[in-house]
Structure 1
Amino acid sequence: MLISCWLQESLFLNNIIFVLINLCNFVVFLTCSVPTTTPQVRKSRKQAQLKTTEVIVKSTPTKQEKISKKEVEEREKEKEKEKNEEGEKKNDKKEKENVKKEEKEKGKEKEEAKEAKEVKTSVLTDPRRDWVLKNAKTTCGQLSKTHQEKIKGYQPKDVTYKAFEAHVELNRYADVFCIDQTRVVLKNRDNDYIHASWITIPDSNTKYILTQGPLLETVADFWAMCYQEKAKFILMLCPLVEGDAEKCSVYFPDAKGKTVKYGKLDVTITGTKPEPIEGVIWTVINIVDENETFEINHIYVPWWPDQLAPEDPKPMLKLYNWVKKVNPENTPIVVHCSAGVGRSATFIGIDYANARIKQDSEIAMIDIVKELRNMRYQAIQSHVQFLFLHVCLFEYFVQEHCVDRDSVVKTFMDQYQKHAKRKLKKREDENKQVKTAQTNE
């Protein structure tokens, strides 16, 4: 029993000893397997350890650096917050601007709608609209007959022609009288007479002087009148010669820079300007007396035939609108053709008739022409000019949006163009016959 116990203890101890021996051998093995390091290797390892330590030290923030970083983060957060707030403000401002813009556009739309309504109402109530609708229903034939029967032989009442009769040599035509009550009176001259008449436009500051084409004997009087009345524009509606007849004497220098003395005034052409309307010549002239230089614009319209009228009213209306625009207020416009009663009166008749029709939609064109003839004898000579005045007014009122270019208005205009074309063709044929006869002689 005892022997058995002893043997067991011996075996246990032997096992422990065996394990310890093996463990020692393993440690020795490991120790022997690690290579021996040289001093240089050990130095390198030490330097590497130092660098690692430095990096670790550097990468480890100090307390002050931790605080600074926190402040930076807070500042960045504040900046981000401010940026967001600024963005929100911009968005709010943009939204407000959009709202204002929408409100403004809505207001503008309302205003435009209101204006359109007012324009529509004003068009419907414009007396010129009623006048057109009434007169456009007549035909060119009816109006020509009216001119022949009621206007051609009209003589103004309660007027005199004493100055005209006393200066026969200063009148271009013996049968075109100059009314004393409306004539232009020359000042500071030996003779105060010139064949020229004042035309005043109702409800307007605009005034016209209608005069005959100057004679050689009246050129000085003509320039004295323009200078005296401070006219800024002269409209010449006729050529110097038509056919074989002189319609107007040369009353201005024939070249740029040239000066001609007419009476006490020196007249010089200083230059030309681009044509305001196709076919119209614009010349600038200086008038010089002893103390003053005065500039005047000379507008020459060569395409309006005597006793007749253009087929198309649009060029004449362009000229009319342009002159009204550029002429200074309170300065008269001098208009002449040959006699100063046909083409000249028809042109200014646009302005005069427009003003009178605004006053009274029931007024007849006959009465308008009679009123003009009370100021300028034989104003609007021929039935073609009478028709042309109607067409000019119809077209002008269409352009002014007083009336639509409906079938009635268009029909009348088409009738007029055919009528005017026939008259112009007849005039051309007559001129050809005259030239042929002269050649044969």
Structure 2
Amino acid sequence: MHFSQEKNKPAKKKTSDAIAKIKQLLRRSKSKMLNKERKNVRGFSDDSEKVKKEERKVVKHDEGEQKKKKRVSRGKQESDDKESDEEEKEDERASNDIEKESNKNENCKIIQPAQNVNVVKCSSNAKSEVEKWVKRALEKGVDGLREEFMQLRRYVPPNMTCKAFEGTYEAGKSRYKDVPCQDQYRVVLKWPGVSDDYIHANYVGTPISKKRFICTQGPMPKSVIDFWHMVVQEESDSIIMLTNLVEKGFNKCEAYWPDEEGGKVIWGDIEIQNHAVRAALTPDEPSIRLCVLNVKWYEDGRAKTREVRHYRWIDWPDRSVPPCRLTSMVLLSHVRGSKKPIIVHCSAGIGRTGAIVAMEFIIERLQTATACESMDQILKELRDQRPFSIQNDLVFQQYLYIHRIMLFYFFEKHNICADTEEMIAKYKRFVEEYNNATKT
């Protein structure tokens, strides 16, 4: 069948317009991704320059596309046909690549990042404070840090009272008899129709907020409903779980959430449904499993829902510390944007929980250029809010772990203080001492 050239032109124009719209959408999508990268920059690096370079590439690409369109519009119809065919082939190849990538990652559902942003602005003097912190840690070394920790090993807040804690161990509301919950900074439950206001949980503040974190014990059979009441009451949208349900034959935490996609559980008047699962937070960090939960409850007779993200560290060893990787930093980067209290728990809610919270506490102080050299004072501040934080049966390993990860993050990832042979030698010595001290 033959079509005249006049009839063929509109069809070519429609095809060209459609391709142009597709490219425009792709450019917008790429631009949004780059903007998201910029928001995730936390300071202490030149990541922002990388983002700017990528943005310049997008702009250059856009300019090239515009020039290309002008050349095509001035060219002959035969050139139009050839260009259109090439673009169609290119789009087909791109579509095939996307389909292959989708098939490759079919078990890893795309989960959009949380929308709330609550990130502290990085001070111009932040790098100076980081350098002081790094130099102090390397100067002290493992032996110096051990001595520092031992001096504070039994520190408890002055005038601490634990009246609300009394009788809760026997009632099945507190996991350990020797880990009391202090009255000051205690989360007080105010759930309609429930007279008991107790849960083993304390607020822990940072430079961003006086209620930045809630450190709590792993839920028990008789405290799961209290736990979810707390999640709803405090409007929390992020939960970090740093324990397994059973470790070395001992129950460490109740299964208080549906772990499989599509699963649903009901605790009292709270319904929790698993909307999506990501088996690994990132391809390089398989230790964190993310579940996106829909929490439903009734308020004044009306149903309400909220999305809560559940991050579970699946392989933090009991009574020890994880391998030296940036898992902690990746995890914190995912919850850092939350405007509401971030709930963190392990089993007792003081050891692994204290270590993770301490890292974010240090980062926020450094970003605001707040003096952070006296780690013993920082430990006191944390324990004033959540007594007995950062300790385990191996005494100081968690304290060392905090320093090891922070040094790895600053020294290796961002090359802070890594510019002289002397500092490099001190860092290597610290790593060797740390490895020897944390052998199990």
- Return the alpha-carbon distance in structure 2 between the equivalents of residues 361 and 243 of structure 1: 40
Q: Which moved more, 1:376-385 or 1:131-140?
A: 131-140
> Given that residues 236 and 343 in structure 2 are in contact (C-alpha distance below 8 angstroms), is that contact kept between their aligned partners in structure 1?
yes
Distance 1:212 1:407, change over 3 A: farther
What is the one-letter code of the residue matched to 2:399? Answer: F
The letter of the residue matching 2:247 is: E
Residue number among 133, 136, 139 corresponding to 1:134 in the alignment: 136
- The alpha-carbon deviation at position 293 of structure 1 amounts to 1.4
Q: Which runs of 5+ in 2 are unaligned?
A: 1-48, 50-122
> Comparing both structures, which one devotes a greater share of its residues to helix?
1
Match of 1:208 in 2: 213
1: CA distance, partners of 2:229 / 2:132? 44
Q: How far apart, in 2, do the equivalents of 1:125 and 1:253 lie?
A: 42
Tell me the CA shift for residue 416 of structure 1: 5.5
Residues 129-168 of structure 1 show CA distances to partners (whole Å, capped at 9, x for unaligned) of 12221221122122123212x1211111122111112422
**Judging changes above 3 Å, is the alpha-carbon distance between structure 1 residues 409 and 296 closer, same or farther for their aligned structure 2 residues?**
farther
Inter-CA distance 192–142: structure 2 relative to 1 (3 Å threshold): same
> Aligned residue pairs: how many?
304
CA distance in 2, matches of 1:203, 1:264: 32
**Are the counterparts in 2 of residues 394 and 409 from structure 1 also a CA contact under 8 Å?**
no
TM-score (norm 2): 0.63
Note the C-alpha offset of 1:402. Answer: 4.7
> What one-letter code is carried by the residue in structure 2 that aligns with 1:309?
V
Tell me the distance in 2 between the aligned counterparts of 1:396 and 1:205.
26
Deviation at 1:123, TM superposition (A): 6.7
Larger deviation: 341-350 or 410-419?
Answer: 410-419
Summarize the Cα distance change of 1:196–1:205 in structure 2 as closer, same or farther, 3 Å threshold. Answer: closer
Specify which of 314, 323, 331 is matched with residue 319 of structure 1.
Answer: 331
> Over residues 84-135 of structure 1, what are the superposed CA-to-partner deviations in whole Å (9 max), with x where a residue is unaligned?
xxxxxxxxxxxxxxxxxxxxxxxxxxxx9xxxxxxxx957972221222122
Match of 1:172 in 2: 175
The reply to whether residue 404 of structure 1 matches residue 418 of structure 2 is yes
Structure 1 position 360, deviation (Å): 4.3
Offset from partner CA, 1:268-304 (integer Å, 9 cap, x none):
1222135223221111111111210111111110121
Question: Which residue of the partner structure matches residue 13 of structure 2?
Answer: none
Give 1:218 shift.
Answer: 0.5
Matched letter for residue 191 of structure 1:
D
C-alpha RMSD of matched pairs (Å): 2.7
Q: Secondary structure, in 3 states, of the residue corresponding to 1:164?
A: coil
- Among 177, 180, 185, the alignment partner of 1:182 is 185
- The answer to whether the Cα contact below 8 Å between 1:310 and 1:420 also exists between their aligned partners in 2 is no
- Are residues 129 and 416 of structure 1, via their aligned partners in 2, closer, same or farther at CA, if it must alter by over 3 Å? closer
Question: For each residue in 1:385-426, what CA deviation from the matched residue of structure 2 results, as whole angstroms up to 9, or x when unmatched?
Answer: 101111222233344565336556555654555556556653
Cα distance in structure 2, aligned partners of 1:124 and 1:209? 26
* 1:223-282 deviations in Å (ceiling 9; x for gaps): 111111111111111111111111111112354323222111111122213522322111
Residue aligning to 2:347:
338
Contact 2:218 2:345 in 1 (8 A): yes
Structure 1 letter corresponding to 2:322: P
Give % identity.
31
Query: Corresponding residue for 2:224?
Result: 219
For 1:350 and 1:181, locate their aligned partners in 2 and report how far apart those are by CA, in whole Å: 23
Query: What corresponds to 1:156 in structure 2?
Result: 157
For 2:398, the equivalent position in structure 1 comes to 385
Q: Does the 8 Å CA contact 1:286/1:296 hold for their aligned counterparts?
A: yes
